[in-house]
Structure 1
Amino acid sequence: MSSLAQASARNEHGLYLVEGENMVREAVRTGKALSVLIDESKLSLYEKSIPSGIEIITLSGHVIKKISTTVTPQGILALCALPQETSLGDIGTRVVVLNGVQDSGNVGTIWRTAEAAGFTGLLMDNNCADPFSPKVLRSSMGACFRIPVIRLDDLCGAFKYFSGFSIIATSLEGETLFKTSLPKDNILIIIGSEARGIHEDVLSYATRKVKIPMKGQTESLNASIAAAIIMYEIMRR
């Protein structure tokens, strides 16, 4: 079980773990949990909240701590199957595209914010953090169970599928976000790497480039903050 903290093991077995009471509850509610692992000393605390059709596996606190990736485990985890391959047609018409976003916390936070702002899917290249790594899952706060994600080798090839969509990219040469006319639907928002921004090949597919105005001496914003501002500006209109 502890090997599932590594991407290679997750891909080999087609499984991943989520931990903590809230994440396990959501995994169960959405039908994603195959089984639930509980610290034997906390069985009475959690057992009643697990539906009868889901297998409960009790483990010692020592084993739970070994499996857990958090400093203070809550004593409950869920084993879930990696989702089957999702087609581009299944991620809806309001999509966030991640190009080389390698920080796990940013990927998870963008996933969570995308759901909150009414976006329907996440599209990312293989240079991004693994969406089913423990930190991404924790940061997503359950959005991982509800908003589909697709990982691709070639984002540019995927853009051809979204013919007629507005493809919005962040760029220092872009129009000021708050003065730009943007659609509420049939839209892709591209968020680039924290260090290098959006790759030139990907940027070339943008139908509109925008920038977020900043005062003071700040040169850039965190990727998840920039994504949130753009998503909520679109939702506001």
Structure 2
Amino acid sequence: MKARTKDILLRYGKERQRNLLARPGVHDYVVVLDSLKPGFNIPKVFRSAEALGAREVHLIDIGPFDPAPAKGSFRKVPARFHDNFQGCWDALRAQGYDLFLLDPAGENPLPATALPGKSAFVFGHEEWGFSFDPANYPGLRRLAIPQYGQVQSLNVSIAASIVMYEYVRQHGSR
């Protein structure tokens, strides 16, 4: 095992233990990361989630990642780990959450959508999309972030930050 990989695994293990002491943020929304690559995006989402008061971040089928880019936020925002989307869906629905799938082709533009207090935002892998078939989950609403350039795609950590900000804008700071 390379020294860098070993260091990342040790750091991840230590930070995951510290995460057990994390407290929910001031807002009731959660972020769901579905099968993302364990690179820089995951810790960057934690950093934004901490800054914008997320209740927690759910990780589906995501292995160890380097928590260093989170700048300590991984120990402050509760992480919930799931083997598959069904388990995450069941847990969040049982808690009364409305789930929103972020999709560039989504029919509901983010700024025109009233976000419920208990909102969960699902972000998929940038290349492969989601690990599940959204058609199997009635009530899962598709949101789109309006874009005006030719690329029509945002980095997942940037998209997550925009959605979290919009939630806070609609529900006010606490």
Mapped to 1, the partners of 2:32 and 2:97 lie a distance apart of 13
Asked if the contact 1:101/1:129 (under 8 Å) is kept, the reply is no
Alpha-carbon distance between aligned partners in 1 of 2:134 and 2:70, rounded to the nearest angstrom: 25
Q: SS at the partner of 2:53?
A: coil
Equivalent pair of 1:4/1:17 in contact (CA under 8 Å): no
Alignment of 1:4-83 (within 5 A): 5-6=5-6, 10=9, 16-17=10-11, 80=14, 82-83=16-17
Q: Which of 168, 172, 178 lines up with 2:100 in the alignment?
A: 168
Which residue of the partner structure matches residue 100 of structure 1?
A: 35
CA distance in 2, matches of 1:121, 1:166: 15
* Residue pair 2:58, 2:80 contacting (<8 A) in 1 also: yes
The verdict on how the C-alpha distance between 1:224 and 1:203 changes in structure 2, with shifts beyond 3 A counting, is farther
Alignment partner of 1:120 out of 33, 44, 55: 55
Counterpart residue identity of residue 119, structure 2:
I
Residue 226 of structure 1: CA displacement? 0.6
- Which of 102, 107, 112 is 1:179 aligned to? 112
Residue 211 (1) aligns with residue 144 (2): yes
Unpaired segments ≥5 residues, structure 1: 11-15, 19-78
> Secondary structure at the residue paired with 1:104?
coil
Which amino acid letter does the alignment assign opposite residue 196 of structure 1?
W
Structure number with the higher strand fraction is 1
Q: 1:153 to 1:103 in 2, by over 3 A?
A: closer
Give the aligned residue type for 2:39: S
Which residue number in structure 2 is paired with residue 152 of structure 1? 82
Q: How many residues align?
A: 161
Would you say 1:193 and 2:125 are equivalent positions? yes
| Cα shift readout 1:148-168 (whole Å, capped 9, x = no counterpart) | 212221221221122221101
